[in-house]
Amino acid sequence: MKLFVGLGNPGAKYSGNRHNIGFMALDQIAADHGFAPWRSKFQGQLSEGKFGSTKVVLLKPETFMNRSGQSVGEAMRFFKLETDDVTVFHDELDLAPGKCRVKTGGGHAGHNGLRSIHSHIGADYQRVRLGIGHPGHKDRVSGYVLSDFAKAEAEWLDDLLRGIGDGAAELAAGDAGKFMNAVALRTAPPRSSGIGQGKPGGGTAKPTAAKPTAARPAAAAKPPAPAPEPDPAPDTRTALQKLADKFR
């Protein structure tokens, strides 16, 4: 059995917050894979389902973020789970919006939900870090994570959540690499290399225009051939006249 935990705050007021992306991820998994309806249990909302022979329990703590560990610890004790059976989905300031990384163990980096879970079950659980970006200054962090995603962020958020739904079975099977591949196919699909697809990197190849051939210089005009001289008139003089003309 695996326990997938999504972090967030309960209530409609917080449902669209960046801090609630963990809740959104679990809602996507439940909807995509036909999990049982949500019900109240372990100070949270619970839904159960299966990927093949692996049972997976989805848990959204309703203790508010800074006491999330209470709900997680209670569920672990009930199902007799170990820390490495737990995967926590949470918002991550240190990742660019739409990025996703899987990590096991480590610190909580000031995240109140992770801090609470650390105090109840230790640090050796798996995390799915969901990038929401950073507001730029630590004094703005609280307001930023408790504000709703902007309309301009809807596209990447939808791609990320759908990718999580696509790869959930692989994550439950312990294959983080295949899970990440499934997410990447949604968030960064490969570009087509085919011609004529109309996508970056493809496109219809434009015919190469023939380079204009330099005009050849006109051949120099040849002077006209001289007209043939007319044949001389026949000499009709007598021999005596020719001799007389010679001495004139």
The residues annotated with a catalytic role in the active site are 19
Interacting residues of 96 by C-beta distance below 8 A, sequence separation 6+: 131, 133
Helices 176-187 & 154-172, crossing angle to 10 degrees? 160
For 214, list phi and psi in degrees, rounded to 5.
-60, 135
Residues 242-246: contacts with CB under 8 Å, at least 24 apart? none
Place of tokens 């650390």: 118
Asked if 69 and 116 count as a contact pair (C-beta separation under 8 A), the reply is yes
**167: nearest Cα among 148, 187, 152, 151:** 187
Q: Which two tokens stand for residue 108?
A: 């909580």
DSSP state at residue 193: -
Rounded-to-integer distance, Cα 144 and Cα 17, Å: 9
Do the strands 126-131 and 86-92 form a parallel or antiparallel pair, or are they unpaired? Answer: parallel
